[in-house]
Structure 1
Amino acid sequence: MRTVSLRSGARVPALGLGTWGLGEDPGRRPADVRAVRSALDLGYRLIDTAEMYGEGGAEEVVGQALAEAIRTGVLAREDVFVVTKVYPHNASRRGTVEACERSLRRLGLDHVDLYLLHWPGQHPLAHTVAAMRELVGAGRVSHWGVSNFDVDDLRELEEVGGDGPACATNQVYFSMTERGPEFSLLPWLRDRRMPLMAYSPIDQGALAQDDAVAAVAERHGVSAAQVALAWVLSREGAFAIPKAAKEAHQRENLAAASLVLTEDDLADLDEAHPAPRRKQPLAML
């Protein structure tokens, strides 16, 4: 698995597992835990979650799966990079710290590797940044970053001292049909060596039914979903966290990380899904 570099220099896998939608139904908890455990068994070492997902339920699912995998020797804690996020309404100076402690309890961990502000909210960014730095200093968070921030939001973050190696990454909706970030956001991030973490890189599965993507997939003998994911991973400065609950899809996604698209492939995909020619509002799910 190739890796990408955060602004701090830390290396993380270019492909991880998203957990949005997990932990919402207590009756499905065992199946959700099995899904995350399956990914860990297959070799996924980047897991993304949030306190918003299932109102903490997804964090509990991830925590249980991690505990089982560590207990059975599948991996050690230091082998896996765990990401979670704070709700904007919790992101005051004190609220961020308290929310992080709740997430750590649900995850069963003494620290998270990356803690993100889920989207810009009502609390001053200066207060959230101060809390993030406090959590790093206390060893409860290794790196911090943001999610769903456009260029104007990131400029504001710089103004309150969130520049330099401190803000590790920006997680946004980015796929072949949601290419808005390519116009100004992705270049801005590249200039600052801040990678873009792409959520919903297969457009919630819709690209698996796309004719142009399917035509490229046929050339390579792979699935359309794999081509869609490989396209995102081919963008300089981007890595991805597709959700996949079924083992077969998890295997497909892992294989997509080594799929190399040709110039002809990329040209055909650009024709079907052209790059933006003007600034577009940042898409959010």
Structure 2
Amino acid sequence: MQTVTLTGRQVPAIGIGTWHMGDDPLKQEAEIAAIQAGLDAGAQVIDTAEMYGSGRSETLVGKAIKNIPRDQLYLISKVLPNNASKAKMSQSLDASLKRLGVDALDLYLYHWRGGVPLVETVDELERLKTTGKIKAWGISNFDTDDLKELWQLPSGPMAAANEDLYNLGSRGVEYDLLAWQTTHNLPFIAYSPVSNGDQLGANLTTNANVLTVANRHHATPYQIMLAWVISRPQILAIPQTSDATHMVDNVTAGNLKLTADDLKLLDQAYPAPTEKQPLDVL
């Protein structure tokens, strides 16, 4: 299974995303079963946020991991921009930890840029590290210019990861962002790695080239899209599903190795960018 190194720890390159999970009480049992199936299949990373369902996603994750040894998990959550201040962040973090039922996060992300000065957010994230409640911090929805600005701050290069949208149909980050992160040893976390169930997602799963590659590997189109995302080093994909069988398929996609011919076919269907594009955000 392909791996990435986050904060000095090697983890499988496909984790579990939880956006939109926890919102419907009727789906809770299935969602918990899906998360547990993913962990049983080898996943370690679970990505959530205080924004997701106003905390309901974190609560759901807390129920799913209640009996899982903590050292088998790599937990990521995120702080909202309006809570990313010296006055509010500690309280926000404590609430996330309480919902998750844990003492510390492995990685705490600044969800997207807001009105709080970046230096204040970074300084508070660094301070929270000293409390032991977070082992590391990072950012999300940052583009290349944002990262360059971050790196000018005294503690900016302490960032442990950047999480952005990335999938076969949305390759804008390849123009300069991925190379910048590679140069600066900053791992990349890909959210919506099989798109977001929209028209693009439907097109991806029915594309002739995607289906050709899927047939070669006796895999689903979704598995091929995930294998494509993590075919580059130091990229973690966090697909979301509430279906246990689909979850296992997602995680085991980490075992697929795409060939040069596979990658060429996929490039022909969905070419790499030739100019800078605005950062895709959901």
**TM-score of the pair, normalised by structure 2:** 0.94
Give the superposition deviation at 1:134.
Answer: 1.3
Structure-to-structure mapping, 1:165-176, within 5 angstroms: 166-176=158-168
Residue from 156, 161, 182 that aligns with 1:163: 156
Structure-to-structure mapping, 1:1-285, within 5 angstroms: 1-6=1-6, 8-67=7-66, 69-70=67-68, 76-164=69-157, 166-205=158-197, 206=201, 207-285=204-282
Q: Give, in whole Å, the separation in 1 of the partners of 2:59 and 2:19.
A: 13
Give the superposition deviation at 1:133.
Answer: 1.0
Q: Give, in whole Å, the separation in 2 of the partners of 1:266 and 1:109.
A: 40
Give the superposition deviation at 1:211.
Answer: 2.4
Q: Would the aligned equivalents of 2:4 and 2:233 in 1 still touch at CA under 8 Å?
A: no
Q: Give, in whole Å, the separation in 1 of the partners of 2:40 and 2:258.
A: 27
User: Runs of 4+ in structure 1 displaced over 6 angstroms?
Assistant: none
Q: Which moved more, 1:50-59 or 1:229-238?
A: 229-238
Q: Secondary structure of the residue that 1:271 maps to in structure 2?
A: helix
Give the superposition deviation at 1:244.
Answer: 1.9
Residue identity over aligned pairs, in percent, reads: 44
> Corresponding residue for 1:73?
none
Q: Give, in whole Å, the separation in 2 of the partners of 1:96 and 1:171.
A: 19
> What stretches of structure 1 of length at least 5 have no aligned partner?
71-75
* CA distance 1:236–1:38, shift in 2 (3 Å): closer
> What stretches of structure 2 of length at least 5 have no aligned partner?
none
Q: Secondary structure of the residue that 2:251 maps to in structure 1?
A: helix
Q: Would the aligned equivalents of 2:168 and 2:270 in 1 still touch at CA under 8 Å?
A: yes
- CA deviations 1:217-243 (Å, max 9, x no partner) are 112211111111100010233111111
Greater relative contact order (Cα < 8 A, sep 6+):
2
Q: Would the aligned equivalents of 2:122 and 2:156 in 1 still touch at CA under 8 Å?
A: no
**TM-score of the pair, normalised by structure 1:** 0.93
Q: Secondary structure of the residue that 1:256 maps to in structure 2?
A: helix
Q: Give, in whole Å, the separation in 1 of the partners of 2:98 and 2:132.
A: 15
Q: Give, in whole Å, the separation in 2 of the partners of 1:279 and 1:143.
A: 30
Give the superposition deviation at 1:98.
Answer: 1.2
Count of residues in correspondence between the two structures = 277
- CA deviations 1:52-102 (Å, max 9, x no partner) are 1110000000001111x33xxxxx111100000001111111211111111
Q: Give, in whole Å, the separation in 1 of the partners of 2:164 and 2:222.
A: 19
Q: Give, in whole Å, the separation in 1 of the partners of 2:103 and 2:123.
A: 20
- CA deviations 1:242-263 (Å, max 9, x no partner) are 1122111112112211111111
